[in-house]
Structure 1
Amino acid sequence: MADKRQRARVQGSWAKQLPKPQRPAAPQSQSANAVSASWGIHRQTTSGNVEFQQPIKQVRDVPSEKVIDQAGDYEISHGPSGVSRLRLVPRFLPAEEADWMFAKLLAELPWSQKTNFRQDEAYEEPRLTCWFGELPYTYARSTMAANTKWHPLLLKLRRAVSEASGGRGGDERFNSLLCNLYRDGHDSIGWHSDDEASLGRQPVIASLSLGDSRVFSLRKKPPLEENGDFTYVERIKVPLGHGALLLMEGATQDDWQHQVAKEYHDRGPRINLTFRSIFPEPQGHRPGTKLHFTDRQTDMNATN
């Protein structure tokens, strides 16, 4: 009997132990997996430890700013509202002719500083303006009265610009003119589009520059899913010198914004003549309202 117990103890010490039964892991819900994935969590199933990993972010490049400084016609975009076009004529006016025209308009036009309104607060535009046209022009909740007393030199320039932009014979393409005087580099105009309802759909704006050079900048309006973020939009810079003519055509006012930013180094006065056509306000529109109401548009005359 003792021998049997001894042999049993010896045999038991050699025998392999059976593996202990493992408790099944609790099933993880689908929502928890989704949360883990969204926060970049990786679970190690072998050790049961949780390892946190940084989520993968999409890398986006900010487009480089393009420069247009040579004469020509440019299709700057093909959507979403259609084809946007610019036409640049850097030497539309000869230098000597532009010199005396600049001096005459600077001295003889009825320049004044317009007061606008934003969020029920008044502010003065950082430049001087005057208006010519048979109809009033309203923007930034402030109206410029109709003025049919065109300066003779402005009538001459309107004919020349009208012909250059497609007008023929005595048919004037433009019936109105907004004049801007930038007294120095501190004067400016903020990001905006010339898309008031009174301008009609896809207006043609002809901009004639006299005096010191300033940079005219454009930026593409972001798609709606960007929620007004202009970080990754296309940008264009157009240096406008003495006697230069720039035409904005097609969908430029629908799909792009433009500005003349402040330049704090020495800048002399500059006159900008912006020819356009004004029509009676469409029925149902308040004076000065935009044709397209979207969150991606900024106030027309926000200061920099």
Structure 2
Amino acid sequence: MNRISNEKKHLILPDAEVIYIPEFYSFEKERYYFKVLKTTVKWQQDNIKVFGKIHKQPRLTALYGENNQTYSYSNIEMKPKPFIKVLQEIKNDIENITKHDFTTVLLNLYRDGNDSNGWHADNEKELGKNPVIASLSLGEARWFHFKHRVISNEKYKLLLEPGSLLVMKGRMQHHWLHQIPKTKKVIDERINLTFRKIEIV
């Protein structure tokens, strides 16, 4: 009932390696982790600057890590909190299936369809040259959009289902941008956990 799936779907994209596991966690385990993380994670809402104006980030975030390495993106610097038990459990499961080690997890809480994440790449220098990013989805399904930086007609979208795991690696972050767009549909909350390895620079 609480199985972990290893049924992998390889997305065929130029200049990228992308693997999608639609039922990484069973329904029961996905529900359990969502409820625990919603109430135990120390969520925060940072300010971001867009075209010279300060706005509240359109989602809540949290950073946990096994070291004290900070993580910076969009002029936001986050200092990690120590891993809690539930995050360590999830980290172990993802490391076992991906065969990669991770030091840090950035969590996003999308409260409704107005919460989003704009076009970006996970290419910060702390992540190294060809980072492996493992993204676990809990709660409401949301569309995930990719677009190639150079090839204008190379676009793709994928519905990230609850309990699914998306792994991006290879040259993905050099050549592609991705986003979680807003939606006008009335939808429930979603928690996204993006595991990464932060190198000392």
Normalising by structure 1, what TM-score?
A: 0.61
What is residue 74 of structure 1 aligned with on the other side?
A: 11
Distance in structure 2 (CA, Å) of the matches to 1:166 and 1:184:
33
User: Superposed, which structure 2 residues align to 1:276-291 within 5 Å?
Assistant: 276-281=196-201
Unaligned runs of 5+ in 1: 1-69, 79-83, 168-172, 224-231, 282-304
Deviations 1:169-228 (A, max 9, x none): xxxx000000000001110000000001111001000000000100011000026xxxxx
The answer to whether structure 1 residue 178 and structure 2 residue 106 are counterparts is yes
The answer to whether structure 1 residue 138 and structure 2 residue 72 are counterparts is yes
Give 1:73 shift: 1.7
Residue 272 of structure 1 aligns to a residue in which SS? strand
Aligned residues of 1:112 and 1:128 also touching (Cα < 8 A): yes
User: Superposed, which structure 2 residues align to 1:32-43 within 5 Å?
Assistant: none
The answer to whether structure 1 residue 259 and structure 2 residue 186 are counterparts is no
What is residue 160 of structure 1 aligned with on the other side?
A: 93
Alignment-mate amino acid for residue 151 of structure 1:
I
What is residue 33 of structure 2 aligned with on the other side?
A: 101
Give 1:140 shift: 1.2
Aligned residues of 1:182 and 1:188 also touching (Cα < 8 A): yes
- Alignment equivalent of 1:189, drawn from 113, 117, 141: 117
User: Superposed, which structure 2 residues align to 1:188-267 within 5 Å?
Assistant: 188-222=116-150, 232-267=152-187
Alignment-mate amino acid for residue 268 of structure 1:
D
Alignment-mate amino acid for residue 38 of structure 2:
L
Report the identity percentage.
34
Distance in structure 2 (CA, Å) of the matches to 1:72 and 1:221:
23
Residue 110 of structure 1 aligns to a residue in which SS? coil
Report 1 or 2 for greater relative contact order, CA contacts < 8 Å, sequence distance ≥ 6.
2
Unaligned runs of 5+ in 2: 1-6
Normalising by structure 2, what TM-score?
A: 0.91
Instruction: Count matched residues.
Output: 193
Alignment-mate amino acid for residue 235 of structure 1:
K
Alignment-mate amino acid for residue 216 of structure 1:
F
Give 1:145 shift: 1.3
Give 1:112 shift: 1.0
Alignment-mate amino acid for residue 213 of structure 1:
A
Distance in structure 2 (CA, Å) of the matches to 1:188 and 1:125:
9
Alignment-mate amino acid for residue 137 of structure 1:
Y
Aligned residues of 1:221 and 1:233 also touching (Cα < 8 A): no
Distance in structure 2 (CA, Å) of the matches to 1:196 and 1:256:
14
Alignment-mate amino acid for residue 247 of structure 1:
V
Alignment-mate amino acid for residue 80 of structure 2:
A
RMSD: 1.4
Residue 150 of structure 2 aligns to a residue in which SS? coil
What is residue 3 of structure 2 aligned with on the other side?
A: none
Deviations 1:138-167 (A, max 9, x none): 1111211132x2120100000010111114
What is residue 86 of structure 1 aligned with on the other side?
A: 18
Distance in structure 1 (CA, Å) of the matches to 2:143 and 2:50:
26
Distance in structure 1 (CA, Å) of the matches to 2:50 and 2:200:
24
Distance in structure 2 (CA, Å) of the matches to 1:124 and 1:233:
32
Distance in structure 1 (CA, Å) of the matches to 2:114 and 2:52:
25
Give 1:71 shift: 4.2
State the structure with more CA Rg.
Answer: 1
Distance in structure 2 (CA, Å) of the matches to 1:275 and 1:234:
26
Alignment-mate amino acid for residue 156 of structure 1:
E
Aligned residues of 1:90 and 1:244 also touching (Cα < 8 A): yes
Aligned residues of 1:209 and 1:241 also touching (Cα < 8 A): yes
Alignment-mate amino acid for residue 103 of structure 1:
K
What is residue 128 of structure 1 aligned with on the other side?
A: 60
Residue 28 of structure 2 aligns to a residue in which SS? helix
Higher fraction of strand: 2
